[in-house]
Structure 1
């Protein structure tokens, strides 16, 4: 009976992402209905926040709680999401504005480089300060930074849509589209880049690890740029499939490797 309680608790923790998703969807629907029925725009900030945060947060909770053990401290993950979102969007906004002033329409080609780099600032600080020994936590920290960025960016686009269309239905469509695509965008791209970053401090071959980090960053930039400049639906579908597949593979590997490590530790302790 003593062993069943931790197992039950682990099972509930692994399914916590479902609760986050359900709570977010229900909250969004309730706020939307109340705002429309009362015609009270005071609910609009709540609608923006819930609509922007639900899906990215669900992915983050799944990555953090899906394994046998929690890969990174909760305060580190939360702090990375908040700071990563603020620092990332502000840094990217300033650099994109300056590049547009100097290069005009050609600055669009630099958006991927700028935003993917801006989202790495806070994870890099965490690496330097915390000096993590477990490289598997990188995917969670990366998803956290991407989540913060995606949430603030989506809220910005939602607000712009309200000003442009003067229509809540248009805002709802914008939030829904960006929510569905968020796991294949900033969340995935920053997730697999930071996963490569996290392996550098403990890598036996530092040069190879740095090369892998550069490759991951360039891959994120390419996917980001292709998404931005292409108006082709098939191309967008390919970007979504590739991004989500890489993200799920890395999250799965982190969960499986932790489980194997725990089993080896239990066998060693029993022996």
Structure 2
């Protein structure tokens, strides 16, 4: 029975919890990097193992998935950091740019990792795409966890743990899911054309996952805007009319939370349904060898 992912998760969770407990009891700062790494990588690694066990086909191997997770994740993080630093500036459309950039760099990273494959299975694209996406999520979460350690009073173990728990819960519904969708569509297109081809289906999938990504990142602001429009004070409406997003009042905070989490649930449901449809369609599709053209051509 395919249960390796359960063992991976449970062992990792126990080690993470023990490290948090020992750090709390001893105030040993040398254990903080262990908490960051275990907490940031536990859920992404678990889901890569799960995806491999439930969707392996073609030429996917554990070393290839490892390269996808590490190389794809690091290349994606570095590419996104450079492009976002130079191309993005604070604006109402900033999160749209974030979605377009991060999904693009993950797509390129996936193509680099998969360049040596001689067979193109759509399900392999789904699994390898998930590996690249979860690698990106793991390294990104490590950065957020590191920043969360520090507050106005110094090092905050509580803030670190809270950040890792929240991102661990949300990780399966983010980068890994979006890149799995894009990887499946990319490999399906490659099967049709005999080489990498960013045809209309790939471009539409890229725009679709970028939109889901942008909506996910901007959902807090969207929730505040909706709360103000539905039950806002006159001064809040004035700020919106002048292009500024007001702060939610104490009385609106619960409404904003409901709208935000409801929006995240809808985005997640849309992505999961999309992935499910792709998985069902490609389950019986046989892998085909690369054509005579170089896989980067086209």
- What range describes the TM-score normalised by the shorter chain of this pair? 0.7 to 0.9
Check whether the contact 1:161–1:170 (CA below 8 A) recurs between aligned residues: yes
Contact 1:119 1:145 in 2 (8 A): yes
Pair member with larger Rg: 2
Alignment deviations for residues 55-112 of structure 1 (CA, whole Å, 9 cap, x no partner): 1111111110125767611111101111111110011001111123xx4334333000
* Cross-structure match for 1:83: 71
Deviations 1:198-238 (A, max 9, x none): 11221169999822211211111001101111213221121
Residue of 31, 42, 45 corresponding to 2:33: 45
Gaps of 5+ in 2: 224-259, 288-298
With normalisation by structure 2, the TM-score equals 0.75
Q: CA deviation at 1:51?
A: 0.7
Return the alpha-carbon distance in structure 1 between the equivalents of residues 58 and 13 of structure 2.
25
- Asked whether the equivalents of residues 64 and 71 of structure 1 are also in contact (C-alpha less than 8 Å), the reply is no
Pick the aligned partner of 2:169 from 153, 176, 180: 180
Aligned to 1:59: 47
CA–CA separation in structure 2 for the residues paired with 1:247 and 1:156: 28
How far apart are 1:253 and its partner, in Å? 6.3
Match of 1:135 among 122, 125, 129: 122
Report the equivalent of 1:227: 216
Change (3 A) 1:179 1:249: farther
1:228-271 alpha-carbon deviations (Å, 9 max, x no partner): 112132211211222234345555666x548x99xxxxxxxxxx
Question: How many equivalent residue pairs?
Answer: 245
List alignment gaps of at least 5 residues for structure 1. Answer: 1-10, 262-271
TM-score by length of 1: 0.82
Task: Return the offset for 1:38.
Answer: 0.8
CA contact (8 A) 1:80 1:123 kept: yes
Indicate how the Cα distance of structure 1 residues 32 and 252 shifts in structure 2: closer, same or farther if over 3 A, else same.
farther
State the alpha-carbon separation in 2 of the partners of residues 190 and 68 from structure 1.
16
**Which residue does the alignment assign to 1:5?**
none
